[in-house]
Amino acid sequence: MARTLLCLVRHGETNWNIERRFQGQFDIALNARGRAQAEALAAELATVEFDYVYSSDLRRARSTAEAVVQSRGLKIFALPELREKNDGVWQGYTHAEVQALYPDLYPHYLARNADFCAPEGESLKDFQHRITCALIKIVQEHEGCSILIVAHAGVLDIAWRLATGKSLEEKRINPVLNATPNWVAYEKNTWSLVDWAGSEGRAEISAPWDGQTLPRREAARGLIVSPEGRVLLIRYAGGLSPHFIALGHQHFWSTPGGALKENENYAAALSREIFEETGLRINADVGPVVATREFPMELGDDWRQAIERYYLIRTPEFTPTPMEQTQEEKTHMLEARWWGADELAQSQELIFPEGLEELLRKVTTR
């Protein structure tokens, strides 16, 4: 059997990486640094010849692969088998949130218990089986070739263990860096490690917010959900970053809500924003908070440190009637619509927050 060479790459950075949030199989996009990392990866691999290119079918991996093959004319084979480990109900939560919500289970995750899985998730043992089967199928179909595979940290960890003979329980001693090439080989039914990248000597890819203390932008947003399990979203014009405009987006959909005014708390801001944007009156004692987000946000030409809280509001479906809006606010609000989780997952529209369809599924099954 001829030697087959695999270049294994983890996707570029996402905002959920920054937040230390379990992404798992949620379809989260690259952030500004992640896109820059993908371009830097393309430059680093510009002189490397590949016969085939594979990626996970999740957009953070697929977008990273697309940057590399942009001028090569190679097809990307996007496989769900190369997705990250399914962390079940933990997906969407930060590590700190999971530790607080599941204090008896989280230590099993830290200990790398091969048989443990988060509720409704996948064990390390099952994950290893899935990834090993996918990699063996690829190398057997393309014996003697050079193959680029763009996937996820967990996928690369399994490949590293195949190549080094390390068990699932052993601690990984090598990092899995974003958008960085690592090499393993497969020959005569045996895996071997060719090269695994470390951070030493590698240039740090900068983000637009590096070196800045970003002004805080605290916001309260309402996850308004009907008994039918649909969520109310508003289509807004304006405020999009140059990146999204370059992709052809002229507007976006988001949950109602907005930034806190001076000396205003989250509950008061939520009540005010919901009334202004929908006409719905809600109690001052709102809640519960079902999601939080903290990430660098691009607003026009500036960056802010966004701190967002999402409050669950259950109500029968109604036709929103905006109230007490300025002329500018009226110009930016285009329409309102109720969405189901499947509609959100299938839509090509720009929708915030990321992972909204899965958040909606969580709150509608409670």
pLDDT digits (tens, 9 = 90+) for 216-256: 999 999 999 999 999 999 999 977 888 888 888 889 999 99
Residues 181 and 281 in one domain: no
Tell me the pLDDT band of 284, cut-offs 50, 70 and 90. Answer: low
Residues 150 and 231 in one domain: no
Last residue of a domain, one of 195, 230, 249: 195
Last residue of a domain, one of 195, 225, 259: 195
Residues 237 and 345 in one domain: yes
H or E segment at 298? Answer: strand 289-299
Please check whether residue 208 lies inside any domain of the structure.
no
Residue 191, class by beta-carbon neighbours within 10 Å (0-12 exposed, 13-18 middle, 19+ buried)? buried
Per-residue pLDDT reduced to its tens digit, 139-173: 999 999 999 999 999 999 999 999 999 999 998 88
- Cα-Cα-Cα-Cα dihedral sign, residues 296, 208, 76, 9: negative
- Known active-site residue 11: yes
Q: Would you say residue 332 has pLDDT above 90? A: no
Q: Would you say residue 326 has pLDDT above 70? A: yes
Count: domains in the chain: 2
Residues 174 and 244 in one domain: no
Residues 176 and 108 in one domain: yes
* Number of other CB atoms surrounding residue 176 within 10 Å: 20
Residues 64 and 190 in one domain: yes
Please check whether residue 258 lies inside any domain of the structure.
yes
Average pLDDT of span 255-266 = 95
Q: ∠174-177-183 over CA atoms, to 5°? A: 70
Q: Would you say residue 102 has pLDDT above 70? A: yes
Per-residue pLDDT reduced to its tens digit, 7-30: 999 999 999 999 999 999 999 999
Q: Would you say residue 287 has pLDDT above 80? A: no
Please check whether residue 307 lies inside any domain of the structure.
yes
| Separation CA 276–CA 133 (nearest Å) | 54
Q: Would you say residue 90 has pLDDT above 70? A: yes
| Separation CA 2–CA 176 (nearest Å) | 27
Residues 183 and 146 in one domain: yes
Tell me the pLDDT band of 213, cut-offs 50, 70 and 90. Answer: very high
Residues 154 and 34 in one domain: yes
Average pLDDT of span 170-187 = 94
- Across the chain, mean pLDDT equals 94
Average pLDDT of span 277-282 = 93
- Known active-site residue 328: no
Please check whether residue 190 lies inside any domain of the structure.
yes
Please check whether residue 310 lies inside any domain of the structure.
yes
H or E segment at 289? Answer: strand 289-299
Residues 156 and 293 in one domain: no
Domain of 299, CATH number, reads 3.90.79.10
Q: Would you say residue 73 has pLDDT above 90? A: no
Please check whether residue 200 lies inside any domain of the structure.
no
> Which of 41-55, 88-102, 278-292 is predicted least confidently?
278-292
Last residue of a domain, one of 142, 162, 195: 195
Please check whether residue 70 lies inside any domain of the structure.
yes
Greatest CA separation found in the chain? 73
Q: Would you say residue 97 has pLDDT above 80? A: yes
Residues 166 and 227 in one domain: no
Q: Would you say residue 105 has pLDDT above 90? A: yes
Please check whether residue 270 lies inside any domain of the structure.
yes
Question: What is the residue range of 175's domain?
Answer: 4-195
Domain of 51, CATH number, reads 3.40.50.1240
- What the block records as the tokens of 297 is 């946000």
Residues 246 and 308 in one domain: yes
Residues 18 and 117 in one domain: yes
Q: Would you say residue 111 has pLDDT above 80? A: yes
pTM for the model stands at 0.93
Catalytic residue among 13, 84, 308, 357: 84
